[in-house]
């Protein structure tokens, strides 16, 4: 996941084509993300997340509370927000990002 400066969301370990990250943040997580090769595992350690996932049927939003896990399915654009702050452990594969809503882009 991309949450800003590496010091704020450090990579703890390599994991396949991605890594294991932990960090605390407030509000939006920054860009939309897409993982073309594997699922992403999110574990909320503290606080609460709102995860928005774009599917073929539209946008789905899920609240994920402290102590809970959420799996972002491979091949789905998603965006994460903390309400109001959250500490997150993420096991993230290779990641593509978009700083605009991917629904406004055409994939080629």
Does domain 11-97 fall into CATH 2.60.120.10?
A: yes
Q: What is the model's pTM? A: 0.86
Q: Give me the residue spans of the domains in the chain.
A: 11-97
Q: How far is CA 30 from the centre of its chain?
A: 10
Task: Tell me the per-residue pLDDT of 24-66, one tens digit each, with 9 for 90 and over.
Answer: 999 987 789 999 999 999 999 999 999 999 998 899 999 999 9
**pLDDT of 2 strictly over 50:** no
Q: Give CA–CA dist 35/39, Å, rounded.
A: 7
């Amino acid at each position: 996941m991309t949450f800003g400066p590496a010091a704020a969301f450090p990579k703890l370990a390599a994991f396949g084509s991605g890594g294991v990250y932990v960090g605390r943040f407030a509000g939006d997580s920054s860009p939309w993300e897409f993982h073309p090769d594997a699922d992403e595992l999110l574990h909320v350690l503290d606080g609460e997340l709102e995860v928005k996932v774009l599917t073929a049927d539209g946008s789905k939003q899920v609240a994920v509370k402290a102590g809970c896990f959420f799996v972002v399915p491979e091949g789905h654009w998603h965006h994460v927000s903390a309400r109001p702050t959250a500490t997150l452990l993420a096991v993230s594969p290779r990641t593509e990002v978009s700083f605009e809503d991917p629904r406004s882009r055409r994939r080629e």
